[in-house]
């Protein structure tokens, strides 16, 4: 089966990293069409996945766009729709991996008479998207999409609540290669030395720097501990959240934590860095659609504490394979950090259970089989 994947991003966020794993088995017979150039393209090439940048003009629709802005962008995207429709005729199916890809893919699917799959990596709620964007996404999905792959029950529920057709939605979680998360002790020692983590209790945070990812909550919690408890913040402002980055740096200065909060920027050695941590924290202030970092921490056999909302609730069973705290509640986060600091044996057994659970539930081979089955069924194969 020949698949034309579409993704709007030039940078590798969670949806893009997930797409690499989905496209890999189809690499002989697929193309990933991007609506922006950047490091995501390089990552696809490194994975021998055919990729083409289909436009370098930014599509001026934001998550909070109005109708007028939406209409203005229509003229701008028409050439892209025609390009995609032309390419799509060489493929059996269009697979839209992001919202703008859904918009372009819908009309291209109509013009090329190819079925459309939409991988929903978002919670279509007012917290994340404007009313207009949600309406457009739902209208397009209901009209043109044969299969919506929702990355969690939370994403599926929000899609249906926003008016999406339930009968076209299947839930498929992100897949991971468990072996990638088994890190040699020597690599961990190297990282701990390089980052001067020896003798410290290290709480890691692995997300792009964005207000709703809540890095400020972790910084607040770290201030409640003595000097041996430190945080590493791994990730960059991928989508222009520079103001938040400045705020975080100011918060660190104001709290006198310059030596205890390390900003590491975007990294591609996540398993190694996670394994070098004592605890991985997830502090999103709005419901997380899935939460790749939570599963990755589990696979690294690290205790993980996550904000109790959205997909995180489907991944973590509190005190069984991780910890859940009320979103934005610094006090609860502080208590969990303290618990992990004081009870290393109990948390080691929780982390062991986490690795077993995550390996059983999220192995990429099983996940890719589920996706292939769903695609085959809409193709009548
Ligand atoms: N990530 C990464 N390098 C970084 C920070 C994050 O490769 O410096 C990865 C992280 O390991 C995870 C993904 O980015 O696989 C983020 O996915 P998640 O679902 O947690 O959040 P999203 O970006 O989709 O909102």
What domains can be seen in the chain, in order of their start residue?
A: 3-175+363-379 (3.40.50.2000), 178-362 (3.40.50.2000)
Residue owning the nearest CA to atom 17 of ligand 1:
14
**271 CA to middle of ligand 1, Å?**
12
Report residue 208 as tokens.
């792009």
How far, in Å, from the CA of 59 to the mean position of ligand 1? Answer: 23
SS3 content of the chain, % helix, strand, coil (to 5): 50, 15, 35
Residue 41 contacts residue 53 (beta carbons within 8 Å): yes
Q: Which atom of ligand 1 is nearest to the CA of 18?
A: 15
**Residue 250, both tokens:** 């100011």
For residue 235, which atom of ligand 1 is closest to its CA? 8
Q: How far apart are CA 370 and CA 171, in angstroms?
A: 9
Which residues, other chains included, contact 66 with Cβ-Cβ below 8 Å and sequence gap of 6+? 130, 132
Instruction: Please give the mean pLDDT across all residues of the chain.
Output: 96
pTM, two decimals, is 0.96
Instruction: Report pLDDT for 121.
Output: 98
Which strands sit side by side in the sheet containing 169-171, from one edge to the other? Answer: 51-53, 30-34, 3-7, 93-96, 116-120, 145-150, 169-171
Segments of the chain with pLDDT less than 70: 60-72
Instruction: Give residue 56's pLDDT.
Output: 86
Distance, CA of 73 to CA of 297 (rounded, Å)? 40
For the stretch 1-19, pLDDT in tens is 999 999 999 999 999 999 9
> What's the rounded Cα separation, in Å, for the pair 294 and 305?
8
In the prediction, which pLDDT does 256 show?
Answer: 98
d(CA 261, CA 171): 37
* Pocket flag, ligand 1, residue 122 (CB < 6 Å): no
Q: Which atom of ligand 1 is nearest to the CA of 234?
A: 8
The partner residues of 262 in beta bridges, in order of sequence, read: 232
Class of residue 253 by CB neighbours under 10 A (exposed 0-12, middle 13-18, buried 19+): exposed
Bridge partners (DSSP) of residue 116 are: 94, 145
- DSSP 8-state assignment for residue 24: G
pLDDT score of 127: 86
The finding on whether 13 has its CB within 6 A of some atom of ligand 1 is yes
């Amino acid at each position: 089966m020949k698949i034309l994947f579409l993704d709007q991003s030039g940078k590798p966020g969670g949806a893009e990293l997930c797409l690499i794993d989905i496209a890999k088995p189809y690499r002989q017979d697929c193309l990933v069409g991007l609506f922006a150039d950047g490091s995501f393209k390089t990552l696809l090439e490194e994975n021998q996945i055919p990729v083409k940048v289909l436009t370098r003009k930014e599509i001026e629709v934001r998550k909070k766009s109005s109708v007028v802005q939406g209409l203005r962008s229509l003229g701008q995207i028409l050439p892209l729709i025609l390009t995609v429709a032309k390419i799509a005729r060489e493929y059996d199916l269009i697979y839209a991996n992001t919202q703008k890809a859904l918009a372009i893919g819908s009309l291209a699917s109509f013009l090329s008479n190819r079925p459309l799959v939409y991988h929903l990596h978002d919670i279509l709620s007012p917290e994340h998207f404007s009313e207009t964007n949600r309406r457009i996404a739902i209208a397009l999905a209901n009209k043109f999409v044969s299969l919506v792959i929702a990355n969690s029950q939370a994403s599926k529920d929000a899609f249906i609540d926003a008016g999406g057709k339930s009968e076209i939605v299947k839930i498929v979680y992100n897949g991971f290669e468990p072996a990638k998360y088994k890190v040699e002790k020597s690599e961990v020692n190297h990282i701990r030395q390089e980052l001067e983590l020896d003798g410290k209790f290290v709480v890691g945070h692995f997300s792009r720097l964005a207000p709703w990812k809540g890095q400020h909550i972790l910084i607040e919690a770290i201030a409640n501990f003595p000097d041996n408890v430190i945080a590493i913040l791994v990730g960059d402002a991928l989508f222009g959240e520079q103001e938040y980055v400045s705020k975080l740096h100011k918060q660190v200065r104001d709290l006198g934590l310059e030596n205890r909060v390390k900003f590491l920027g975007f990294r591609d050695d996540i398993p190694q860095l996670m394994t070098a941590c004592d605890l991985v924290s997830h502090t999103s202030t709005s419901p997380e659609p899935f939460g790749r970092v939570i599963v990755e921490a589990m696979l690294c056999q690290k205790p993980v504490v996550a904000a109790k909302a959205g997909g995180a609730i489907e991944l973590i069973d509190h005190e069984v394979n991780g910890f859940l705290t009320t979103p934005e509640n610094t006090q609860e986060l502080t208590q969990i950090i303290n618990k992990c600091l004081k009870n290393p044996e109990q948390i080691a057994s929780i982390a062991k259970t986490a690795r077993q659970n995550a390996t059983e539930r999220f192995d990429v081979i099983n996940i890719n089989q589920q996706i292939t089955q769903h695609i085959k069924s809409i193709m009548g194969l």
